[in-house]
Chains A and B, each alone.
Chain A
Amino acid sequence: MYPNKLIVGALVTAAAANALAADPSPERQKELVRLVRQDCGSCHGMTLAGGLGSPLLPANLKDKPVEGLVSTILLGRPGTAMPPWDRFLNEAEVRWMVDKLLTEFPR
């Protein structure tokens, strides 16, 4: 179903260093903010305070390892309602999202 799973898995562990260098373009950042607020928001709440999905505010995420958050978004969490988003997002985009989630997510 997801032939790129392994490749992404490898990227998750390998590409942390150059992720910062590859921040999404400002236009893409806007799209990502909207995606998180609106579409992730349908489970996690538009304010990210949680819903059927867990809350995603900095206080909720601060003790979780970044690599785990990145792979949860890209590959989903089997056995839960969290789907894999790797069809729509590349790793650099997810790292940017996680970085924003851990600090202050833009409106």
Chain B
Amino acid sequence: MRLLVIAVLSFFIAGCASPQLRGTGDLGLIIERATGQVTLVNTTSKSAYARIGGLGDLSHASAVYSRDGRYAFVFGRDGGLTKIDLLEARIVKRIIQSGNAIGGSISQDGRIVVAQNYTPGGIKAFDAETLELLSEVPTEYAPGKFSKVVGLADAPGNVFAYALFEGGEIWVSDFSDPRHPATTRFPAGNQPYDGLVTPDGRYYLAGLFGEDGIALVDLWQLEKGSRKILENYGRGQEKLPVFKMPHLRGWSLAQGKAYLPAIGRHEVLVVDATTWKEIGRIPVRGQPVFVMARPDGRQVWVNFAFPDNGKVDVIDTLAGKVVRAFEPGKGILHLEFAPRGENVWLSARDDNKVIIVDTTSFKTLGEIAADNPSGIFFTSRAHRTGF
């Protein structure tokens, strides 16, 4: 009997194990925004291994990861929040949490997923395990007036910082008690468009669209309030039209400096990340959208708003200037570095593919077919604050 049990068990185990064990550290997903799909990819084999549909309107969709890198939480424009299992390549759960959403974030301990919403304006916190609603913070900045939320980012201590587009404020919500968040408000400036938390979790920056400058809060010293940096960087000059809003995230920090997109100027602003004073500007070939440091900080890659969205400029942070300017594809919407940055994946929306480029030789290493690809998100984000 015992032998039989062992025989049956070993057969069963062998059967189960046949899809082979695999880790999650080199996985990721590509948003295919027009068709409501994501393509799952492996960054070691540089290939796609599954495609999942039924995610709704993925305009401007983004994703965050559970601590183990197994689950992706995809935030769609239609308020959809979809939890995907990257190992089993399936949707675990999907809810519609608002009317119109813009992204989300996950807490330091990985237990709270927070969505940021345009309609109704505010943020909502969900249990990462079940997607049960835990609490919400409506962004009623004046009686009866609700603001769209932009720039939501996680910070240590299950804190989330975000900015109010119409409200012109930065809010910092502490979810130590996930069902009863405590919120502190700070003035920001005219029309914050996005925000970032520095990789050490200390500073929150909100970029301003309606005026030259960036609002900054020291999350270690909330009592000091907010302040403006880079005020009047345009010095009253007429702004160039901005055909797409830039994005900010913790990837802007490299080698003790922040590399930030100017608004209405074809420049990357360089700021000392301890004094927060401007220390330089680098001319580039369009309105920057993503200004993204390679994980080691040696390079900063820049893509651009329409009509320059076929161009990519690469800044060498040692030289302080663009060292490579090229046109890798049509409609470059987003880029994502391999976890240690030896290659970068660029979505070429109008070529229906993702292009993988070596960051040393700039040679194309491969391509992955994708339908109107936009965001690319690798599981290495799971372990980075502010991603």
- A residues apposed to B, CB below 8 Å: 1, 37-39, 41-43, 45-47, 49-52, 76, 79, 81, 83-84, 87-88
CB neighbours (8 Å) of A38 from chain B are: 331, 349, 372
Residue of A39, A49, A76, A79 near B77 (CB, 8 A) is A49
Residue B102 interfacial (CB < 8 Å) = yes
CB–CB A43/B78 < 8 A: no
Among A37, A47, A76, A88, find the residue whose CB has the most chain B CB atoms closer than 10 A.
Answer: A47
Sample of 5 more A-B contacts, CB < 8 Å, known A42-B60, A47-B78, A52-B150: A1-B238, A41-B59, A47-B57, A51-B59, A51-B100
Residue B34 interfacial (CB < 8 Å) = yes
Alpha-carbon distance between A50 and B148 when the two chains are bound, in angstroms: 11
Chain B residue nearest to A42 in the complex (CB): B244
CB–CB A43/B77 < 8 A: no
Known A45-B59, A84-B241: A51·B306 in contact at CB below 8 Å? no
**Majority secondary structure of chain B interface residues (helix, strand, loop or mixed):** loop
Known A39-B243, A52-B148, A52-B193: A81·B209 in contact at CB below 8 Å? yes
Please provide the chain B residues from 189 to 219 with a CB less than 8 Å away from any CB of chain A in the complex: 191, 193, 209-210
CB–CB A39/B306 < 8 A: yes
CB neighbours (8 Å) of B306 from chain A are: 39, 42
CB neighbours (8 Å) of B100 from chain A are: 45, 49-51
CB–CB B307/A88 < 8 A: yes
Residue B146 interfacial (CB < 8 Å) = no
Chain B's nearest CB lies how many Å from the CB of A106? 14
CB neighbours (8 Å) of A37 from chain B are: 34
CB–CB B77/A83 < 8 A: no
Alpha-carbon distance between A46 and B32 when the two chains are bound, in angstroms: 12
Residue B249 interfacial (CB < 8 Å) = no
Known A39-B306, A51-B59, A88-B307: A46·B77 in contact at CB below 8 Å? yes
B71-105 interface bits toward A, Cβ cutoff 8 Å, 1 = contact, 0 = none: 00000011000000000000000000000101000
CB–CB B60/A76 < 8 A: no
CB neighbours (8 Å) of B70 from chain A are: none
CB neighbours (8 Å) of A52 from chain B are: 102, 118, 148, 150, 165, 193, 245
Residue of A46, A51, A79, A87 near B34 (CB, 8 A) is A46
Alpha-carbon distance between A50 and B243 when the two chains are bound, in angstroms: 16
Residue of A39, A43, A47 near B245 (CB, 8 A) is A43
Chain A's nearest CB lies how many Å from the CB of B238? 6
CB neighbours (8 Å) of B59 from chain A are: 41-42, 45-47, 51
